[in-house]
């Protein structure tokens, strides 16, 4: 017998994170790291005090209702919590935490990679060389868009948005942003605030999405809003796939209304969107914004910090409900 709290870890975490967890908790693992079905997840939670899930585990209202009374905390290994019904968790008295701050730099790096890959036709060029089709050169060959000096629009100026803006400043870009509230001057750093999404889009040569996925933001980027962007703009999404109407995006990319898109997230994950994959002017990655060794350790440790605080009788620093 053990008096350690029982912790379910449903996905494979970094070795250092797992070692720390096992030193403090009676850990139950998902040994083959598969994505649990709803029934598997509910069954695995029945005899645990806590769960440390990723965004691949969906705690909707139905799942939350099926959780046992002994499960008191969901300590997410993610910043976004759109996979958890916060209202249902609050009604059940279940604490929910996330892992802000620690993945901002890594995600900002991926946003820059997506921007540059889209602007300079990275996917198209990579395929050409790998497939042995690079047999020609001229001054008109593989011409892309230069981002230096362009207007960089940030939709959602939270932690990740602010650091991404800092990286874009390194390319001499003019920063514009829309946020629920205007930042203080020390955080704004000269960026130009727009009080409406429409105003931001009108000046965004590159639009980078950094807002959470909520009922209000689902499909925010659609045929109407895409048409507000400057001609031949570039869309970057490292936030959540649900923000974008992908059918409308495909249409805008095919027509040339948008020059390109750089995407790390999709509405359907894993897998992505075959219609987007067919387009040369899309640079895409498999949702790896936070996938560095350093960040994976930091995310796991942050989740464990929240668990440790909770079981010590303290308030977790990242408590959402």
Cα gap 165→160, rounded to integer Å: 9
Of 26, 63, 62, the residue nearest 47 (C-alpha): 26
Question: Would you say the C-alpha torsion 242, 245, 249, 250 has a positive or negative sign?
Answer: positive
Using alpha carbons, list the distances in angstroms from residue 14 to 9, 17, 134, 188, 199: 11, 5, 40, 35, 42
Query: Is residue 188 annotated as a catalytic residue, yes or no?
Result: no
pLDDT in tens, the chain (321 residues): 468 999 999 999 999 999 999 999 999 999 999 999 999 999 999 999 999 999 999 999 999 999 999 999 999 999 999 999 999 999 999 999 999 999 999 999 999 999 999 999 999 999 999 999 999 999 999 999 999 999 999 999 999 999 999 999 999 999 999 999 999 999 999 999 999 999 999 999 999 999 999 999 999 999 999 999 999 999 999 999 999 999 999 999 999 999 999 999 999 999 999 999 999 999 999 999 999 999 999 999 999 999 999 999 999 999 999
- 104-284 has the same fold as 6-102+293-311: yes
- Choosing from 55, 159, 178, 287, the catalytic residue is 287
Fold category of 104-284 in CATH: Rossmann fold (3.40.50)
Query: Is residue 269 annotated as a catalytic residue, yes or no?
Result: yes
For 9, left (φ over 0), alpha (ψ -120 to 50), or beta? beta
pTM: 0.95
SS3 string of 153-200?
EEECCCHHHHHHHHHHHCCCCEEEEECCCCCCHHHHCCCEECCCHHHH
Q: Is the peptide bond before 270 cis (omega within 30 degrees of 0)?
A: yes
SS3 call for 292? coil
Q: What residues are paired with 50 via a beta bridge?
A: 7, 73
- Choosing from 40, 124, 174, 269, the catalytic residue is 269
pLDDT in the model for residue 2: 63
Fold category of 6-102+293-311 in CATH: Rossmann fold (3.40.50)
Domain ranges of the chain: 6-102+293-311, 104-284
CB burial class (10 A; 0-12, 13-18, 19+) of residue 179? buried
Q: What residues are paired with 26 via a beta bridge?
A: 6
pLDDT in the model for residue 79: 94
Residue 299 structure tokens? 């995310």
Measured at the CA of 247, the angle between CA 244 and CA 251, to 5 degrees, comes to 110
- Choosing from 150, 178, 240, 296, the catalytic residue is 240
Say how many Å lie between the first and final Cα of the chain, rounded.
32
Query: What's the distance, CA 240 to chain centroid?
Result: 5
SS3 string of 142-153?
CCCCCCCCCEEE
Instruction: Write the DSSP symbol of residue 37.
Output: P
Query: Is residue 240 annotated as a catalytic residue, yes or no?
Result: yes
């Amino acid at each position: 017998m053990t008096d350690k709290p029982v912790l379910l870890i449903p996905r494979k975490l970094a070795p250092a994170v797992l070692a720390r967890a096992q030193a403090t908790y009676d850990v139950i693992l998902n040994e083959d790291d598969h994505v649990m079905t709803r029934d598997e997840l509910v069954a695995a939670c029945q005899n645990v005090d806590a769960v440390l899930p990723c965004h691949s585990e969906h705690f909707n209202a139905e799942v939350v209702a099926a959780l046992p009374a002994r499960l008191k905390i969901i300590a997410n290994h993610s910043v976004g919590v759109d996979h958890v019904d916060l209202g249902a968790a609050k009604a059940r008295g279940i604490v929910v935490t996330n892992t802000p701050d620690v993945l901002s730099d890594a995600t900002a790096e991926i946003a820059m990679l997506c921007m540059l890959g889209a602007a300079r036709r990275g996917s198209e060029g990579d395929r050409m060389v790998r497939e042995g089709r690079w047999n020609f050169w001229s001054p008109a060959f593989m011409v892309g868009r230069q981002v230096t000096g362009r207007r960089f629009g940030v939709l959602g100026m939270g932690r990740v948005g602010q650091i991404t803006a800092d990286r874009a400043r390194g390319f001499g870009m003019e920063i514009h942003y829309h946020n629920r509230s205007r930042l203080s001057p020390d955080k704004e750093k000269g960026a130009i605030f727009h009080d409406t999404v429409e105003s931001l889009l009108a000046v965004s040569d590159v639009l980078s999405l950094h807002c959470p996925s909520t009922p209000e933001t689902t499909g925010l980027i659609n045929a109407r809003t895409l048409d507000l962007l400057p001609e031949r703009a570039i869309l970057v999404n490292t936030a959540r796939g649900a923000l974008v109407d992908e059918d409308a995006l495909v249409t805008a990319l095919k027509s040339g209304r948008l020059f390109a898109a750089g995407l790390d997230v999709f509405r359907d994950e894993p897998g992505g969107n075959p219609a987007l994959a067919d387009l040369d002017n899309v640079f895409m990655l498999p949702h790896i914004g936070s996938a560095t060794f350093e960040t994976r350790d930091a995310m796991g440790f942050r989740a464990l910090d929240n668990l440790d605080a909770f079981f010590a009788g303290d308030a977790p620093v990242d408590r959402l409900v």
